[in-house]
Amino acid sequence: MSTITIKRPETSEPVAKLDKKALSADHPTWCPGCGDFAVLASFFKVVQNLGIPHEQICTIAGIGCSSRFPYFVNGHGVHYIHGRAIPLATGVSLSRPDLNIFVFGGDGDGFSIGGNHLEHAARKNLNLTYVIMDNFVYGLTKKQTSPTSPVGFKSKTDPWGAQDEPVNPMRKLVASGATFVARTHAAQINHMSEMFERAIKHPGFSVVEVLSECVVFFKGSFDAANPRKGGEFPLIPEKQWDESPDDWKAHDTTDLSKAIKLAEDPWPGKFGVFYEVERTTKNDNEHALIADAQAKVGNASSQEILAKRFARMR
Amino acid sequence: MVDDAVIRIAGNSQDGIQTIGGLLARLAGRTDQDVITYMTIPSTISGGPSIFQVRIGSGEILSPGDQADFLVAFYEHSFKSHIGFLREGGICLYDSDEVTPDTSDKRFTFVPVPLTSATVEAVGGTAKDRGKNMFALGLLCSVFDLDRPRLVEIISRQFGGKDESILRNALLAFDAGYAYPLGDILDLAFQLKPAVASGKNRVATDGNTAMALGLIAGGVRHGAGYPITPWSPIMEQLRVELPQYGGMFIQAEDELAAISIALGFSYSGHLAITGSAGPGLSLKMEALSWATMAEIPLIVINVQRGGPSTGLPTSVEQSDLMQAIYGSHGDCPRVVLAPKDVEDCFYIAIEAARIARKYSVPVIILSDQALSSRIEAFTEPDLAKVMVDPVLDLSPAPEDYKPYPLTGETRHAPPGTRMSGGSYPVVTGLEHDEMGHPTSNPDLHMKMTARRRNKLRRLEAELPTPEIYGDAQGEILLVGWGSTYGPIREAVSQLREKGLKLAAIHLRHLHPMAPGLEKVFDRYDHIFVIEMNDEGVYGQGQLATLLRSRFCNPKIRSICKTDGLTFKIREIISGIDDFIAVTA
Ligand SMILES: Cc1ncc(C[n+]2csc(CCOP(=O)(O)OP(=O)(O)O)c2C)c(N)n1
Ligand code: SF4
Ligand SMILES: [Mg+2]
């Protein structure tokens, strides 16, 4: 619920139903076979399903291969600077409750240079959806070690194999205070779409990590989680609270410590929703401040409010 | 009867010295008197020496004053550090419970008052260190024959509303101070000439507050920041004020986030503000470049302090001018303005908002520590004339929508805008064509670079040449910017009284600069640029360097200083003296 109202111009034009053609912009510049294509296709599908009005789509990204996403969506968009898409999206989200805000970016953009912003946006529970297209490598800058590169990964900055303990994205995100945390795989388009749809519907900070293969600099990275490549795609069984016989064994998505425990599963780990709770959003809090302050000043015009402030300094 | 008086109150920061100063300033504002205050606060949180200086007068007051007429010393250390600041013939009133001065010094009149014990006597035992300030204020009220009923009214407003005993004690101490028998110094002392009533309301406030209110008047409703001295009071005030206007100010996790959130607001169609001091500005630079490239309007305030690095966090300096104009990667034109006094903080914020909107550019406002904290009285603004109520325009964009036309102003379609042509815009930091599509076409990069720069040329053409203060032509022209306005004008007045032909101009627009300066420069033999920064490797301060490269005029020379204190009039005069004798 929002107390700030955005006045929309009246139009008599019928709202056209969005199809893939209307949503497509420039042809993606990604390498053939890049996992990011599937993320885009899945996004189109979900936006159509949800019937989001065209002008209310706003995609925001930093810098990276994955961060070129906004160019490929025909919707309002921002291609910002490396690592800072989340704070820019914060300003949009807080002041424009009429929009649907989607942030896209890579593992370097989100967990390295933008790591601090991710922590704080999650803690404040900003209302937006964040998709991290994790390829375990720096793609755009051509194969340096990323914060999610596994130990032993041979990159241009670690030709002998990466040495540092990688970020555990699920553990980090759950611990940060994000209120919806899910994990999926770009080769599993139905599962990915389901995760996106739930993330978008979630009120608050929702984040989805998509394992999205960089076929040029880290080929085969996610085969272990791809049944078509001989791997497994183990889903998280979610508690249904329906007293069915096996329900007690399933994952309680509102249980923080269980979500963190689940994040400790050995590679390739599990897929699905790790954590999902509802908590007051930063948007609610700011809008409540406005509502309270405006109730106090009543119908006074901005000029009258400021004049009163000056009168106190006479 | 005197025209004006400089009163310096010296004690420790917890003595409530700032409170006395603030009350005196407000009183002066209400009685049509002019006032300028000056204060130092130690950068440590509690304790430590602190002063407040008030200059009150009936004419135009431009600077806090080079010398004090009246010194109130709370402690031995206050006495020792500030007696040198008292003019010959001045009065030193000291707390005889704390200070034992050498009263054989005949240059001054010494007035012992047991401030500590007399306050305890008036208010009661618990008041030991509390209330001394109000007692001292009572004394000053009787010495300077100030408007007592009004002062009591102002005190009541300041302390009323809280715990009743606080106001009662404040007034007890004040009355005791007022009634304290001072003997014949009352005859010696100053009665200020009554000011000519302007018939207009006057207000007294500090530069940070004036700036925050100017932003509101200019129609800014959104912003984000991260705390740092001396910028924080602007963000604290906006955080509290803006929700009343339907806006918000967000405390971010760092300066990178702060400017990014602000750009998010601006992109959304709400012109926003961010700010900091020098260290924070350094962190905002990458995002500022994006704002120039994407042509998103933004206001960025830098309340300058002594640098580099953490430097002198509670002292004044003007050493961020080059950073403001050039401090980003790439050719990154943006507007830089600097207010000249507290009142101007209000008006320059309105102007910044107007420019940012009209040209879709980032606008940096360079304030400084001295301006931010000193209190001045000025005529209450006519809000009906200046108030801007922002509107979010989401009307559908036409089919021929072109955000970055090679000639003509930027036209943004904020998110939420229906695009009649069916194609939606992506705002980017990559070089782009007129439609906003990324391109690395060499010809287009040249054209777009020129386009971004030409916005500033169009702005330049509409700026007024700064007015000349003093002789229309003559020997010397002083050039200043920012908070040095007052002392420079006083220096001009003093030297003109001695028969010299000279003048001053003050630049409020630093990038672009107003047209016509070369014609002004032609009319004087010497041009001295007065600024609070270092003369650098080549002997010129930052503005002087810019003026020299702009006008190739060897007459332009620098008078710089970096002691972290505002310019004194005599420092300006002796600075000129170093080049040409003016004080023979
Ligand atoms: C301030 C800054 N530092 C560095 C870069 C260079 N840079 C661009 S993208 C990138 C890393 C991209 O990796 P990731 O975020 O994982 O995205 P991917 O390309 O893998 O999708 C880097 C280091 C930059 N653009 N800006
Ligand atoms: S370099 Fe890797 S991540 Fe980038 S587009 Fe190519 S395959 Fe995708
Ligand atoms: Mg990556």
Q: Report the C-alpha gap between B356 and B361 in whole angstroms.
A: 5
Q: Are residues A142 and A107 in the same domain?
A: yes
pLDDT tens profile B114-140: 999 999 998 886 655 678 999 999 998
CATH superfamily of B4-188: Pyruvate-ferredoxin oxidoreductase, PFOR, domain III (3.40.920.10)
Q: Name A141's Cβ contacts closer than 8 Å, sequence gap at least 6.
A: none
Nearest ligand by distance to the CA of A61: 1
Instruction: Name which of A74-78, A85-89, B190-194, B580-584 the model is least confident about.
Output: B190-194
CB contact under 8 A, A306 and B383: yes
Structure letter (DSSP) for residue B416? T
Q: Tens digit of pLDDT for each residue in B473-502?
A: 999 999 999 999 999 999 999 999 999 999
Ligand 2 geometric centre to CA of B444 (Å): 27
A82 lines ligand 1 (CB under 6 A): yes
pLDDT at B188: 63
Least reliable range by pLDDT among A71-75, B26-30, B48-52, B200-204: B26-30
Enumerate the domain spans of chain B: 4-188, 204-386, 395-462, 469-577
A70 in Cβ contact with A77 (< 8 Å) = yes
Indicate the SS3 state at residue A270: coil
Question: Amino acid identity of A235?
Answer: L
**B66: pLDDT strictly greater than 90:** no
A142 with A291, same domain: the answer is no
Query: Are the CB atoms for A252 and A239 separated by under 8 Å?
Result: yes
Distance CA B206, CA B376 (A): 6
Does the CB of B381 have a partner CB in chain A at under 8 Å? Answer: yes
Expressed in angstroms and rounded, the spacing between residue A44 Cα and the centre of ligand 1 is 25
Summarize the confidence of residues B391-412 as an average pLDDT.
94
Chain A residues closer than 8 Å to B220 by CB: none
**Residue B200: CA count within 13 A, CB half-sphere:** 9
Q: Do B246 and A54 touch (CB under 8 A)?
A: no
pTM of the predicted model as reported, rounded to 2 decimal places: 0.95
Q: Which residues of A touch B30 (CB under 8 A)?
A: 314
Residue A260, SS3 per DSSP? helix
User: Inter-axis angle of helices B255-267 and A115-124, to 10 degrees?
Assistant: 70
Which residue puts its alpha carbon closest to atom 2 of ligand 2?
A: A214
pLDDT of A1 reads 40
Question: Over the range B158-194, which residues count as b (16 or more CB within 10 Å of their CB) and which as e?
Answer: bbeeeeeeebebbbbbbbbbbebebeeeeeebbebee
Instruction: Let me know whether A176 and A308 are in one domain.
Output: no
Picking from A81, A91, A289, the nearest residue to B268 by CB comes out as: A91
The token pair that represents A99 in the structure block: 């929009």
Query: Closest chain B residue to A285 measured between Cα atoms?
Result: B248
How far apart are alpha carbons B97 and B79 in whole angstroms?
13
* Amino acid in position A63: I
**A99 contacts B429? CB cut-off 8 A:** no
If asked whether residues A273 and A299 sit together in one domain, one would say no
* CB pair distance less than 8 Å for B254 and A91: no
Taking alpha carbons only, the member of B313, B420, B321, B430 closest to residue B372 is B313
**How many domains is chain A partitioned into structurally?**
2
Contacts of residue B258, defined as CB under 8 A and 6 or more positions apart, other chains included, come to A87, B224, B225, B226, B250, B252, B274, B276, B280, B284
pLDDT category at B231 given cuts 50, 70, 90 is very high
Range with the poorest average pLDDT among A185-189, A213-217, B29-33, B336-340: B29-33
Whether residues A261 and A155 share a domain: the answer is yes
Are A79 and A47 a contacting pair, CB within 8 Å?
Answer: no
pLDDT greater than 50 at residue B523? yes
Mean pLDDT, all residues of chain B: 92
Gap between the terminal Cα atoms of chain B: 31
Query: Which residues in chain B have Cβ-Cβ distances shorter than 8 Å to A52?
Result: none
Q: What is the CATH number of domain B469-577?
A: 3.40.50.920
Report CB contact under 8 Å: A307, B417: no
- Which among A56, A59, A103 is positioned nearest to A84, based on CA atoms? A103
Helices (H), B498-537: 517-521
The token pair at B21 is: 């100063």
Q: Give B359: exposed, middle or buried? Use CB within 10 Å, 0-12, 13-18, 19+.
A: buried
State the greatest distance between any 2 C-alpha atoms of chain A, in Å, as a whole number. Answer: 78
What pLDDT sits at residue A11? 67
CATH of the domain at A47: 3.40.50.970
- Give me the pLDDT at residue A13, please: 65
By the 10 Å C-beta count (0-12 exposed, 13-18 middle, 19+ buried), A231 is classed as: middle
Would residue A135 count as lying in a domain?
yes
- Neighbouring CB atoms inside 10 A of B313's CB total 17
Q: Are residues A62 and A178 in the same domain?
A: yes
In chain A, the residue whose alpha carbon lies closest to the alpha carbon of B29 is: A314
Verify that A83 and A185 share a domain, yes or no: yes
B394 touches chain A (CB under 8 A): yes
Is A91 within 8 Å of B217 when comparing Cβ atoms?
no
- Give the CA radius of gyration of chain B: 26
The pLDDT of residue B44 is 54
> Cβ(A106) to ligand 1 under 6 A?
yes
User: From first to last of its 314 residues, what are the pLDDT tens digits of chain A?
Assistant: 456 778 777 766 666 689 999 999 989 999 999 999 999 999 999 999 999 999 999 999 999 999 999 999 999 999 999 999 999 999 999 999 999 999 999 999 999 999 999 999 999 999 999 999 999 999 999 999 999 999 999 999 999 999 999 999 999 999 999 999 999 999 999 999 999 999 999 999 999 999 999 999 999 999 999 999 999 999 999 999 998 999 999 999 999 999 999 999 999 999 999 999 999 999 999 999 999 999 999 999 999 999 999 998 88
Nearest CA residue ID for atom 5, ligand 2 = A30
Task: List CB contacts of A286: < 8 A, sequence separation 6 or more.
Answer: A94, B243, B248, B250
**Contact status, residue A187 vs residue A38, Cβ threshold 8 Å:** yes
Question: Is B469-577 in the same CATH topology as B204-386?
Answer: yes
* pLDDT (mean) for B400-409: 93
Which has the higher per-residue pLDDT, A18 or B163? A18
Confidence of residue B38 (pLDDT cuts 50, 70, 90): confident
Q: Which residue of A has its CA nearest to B205?
A: A313
Is A13 a member of any domain?
no
In whole angstroms, what is the distance from residue B31 CA to residue A35 CA? 73
Q: How far is B130 from B119, CA to CA, in rounded Å?
A: 8
Which is the closest atom of ligand 2 to the Cα of A217? 2
pLDDT of B414-429, one tens digit each? Answer: 999 999 999 999 999 9
The identity of residue B384, as a single letter, is A
Q: Is the distance from CB of A181 to CB of A173 less than 8 angstroms? A: yes
**What is the predicted pLDDT for the residue at B56?**
86
Between A185 and B57, name the one with better pLDDT.
Answer: A185
CA A143 – ligand 2 centroid, Å: 10
Would you call B424 and A117 a contact, using CB atoms and an 8 Å cutoff? no
Tokens of B118: 């007399």
Q: Report whether B460 contacts B467 (CB < 8 A).
A: no
Q: Between these two residues, B394 and B199, which has the higher pLDDT value?
A: B394
What 3-state class would DSSP assign to B204? strand
Judge: domain B204-386, CATH 3.40.50.970: yes
Determine the structural domain holding residue A308 and report its residue range: 281-314
Tokens standing for B440? 């690395």
Distance (Å) from the C-alpha of residue B349 to the closest C-alpha of chain A?
Answer: 15
Same domain, A171 and A218: yes
pLDDT reading at B30 higher than 90: no
Residue of B nearest to A98 (CA): B416
Query: At residue B13, does pLDDT exceed 90?
Result: no
Alpha helices in chain A (DSSP H): 20-23, 36-50, 69-72, 85-95, 107, 115-124, 169-176, 189-201, 256-263, 282-297, 302-311
- For residues A57 and A65, is the Cβ–Cβ distance under 8 A? no
Q: Is A64 in the pocket of ligand 1 (CB under 6 A)?
A: yes
Q: What is the pLDDT of residue B349?
A: 98
Amino acid at B17: I
Which of B154, B208, B244 to probe the A interface (max A CBs under 10 A)?
B244
Residue B264 pLDDT exceeds 60: yes
Q: Say if A8 falls within a structural domain.
A: no
CB spacing of A119 vs B253 below 8 angstroms: yes
Between chain A and chain B, the number of residue pairs with CB atoms below 8 A apart is: 196
Asked if A92 and A199 sit in the same domain, the reply is: yes
Kindly state the greatest CA–CA separation across chain B: 88
Report residue B299 as tokens.
């206001």
CA distances from B352 to B218, B295, B338, B364, B382 (A): 8, 15, 10, 8, 18
| A233 and A289 belong to one structural domain | no
Among candidate residues A215, A81, A40, the one with its CA nearest the CA of residue A135? A215
Q: Is the pLDDT of residue B189 over 60?
A: no
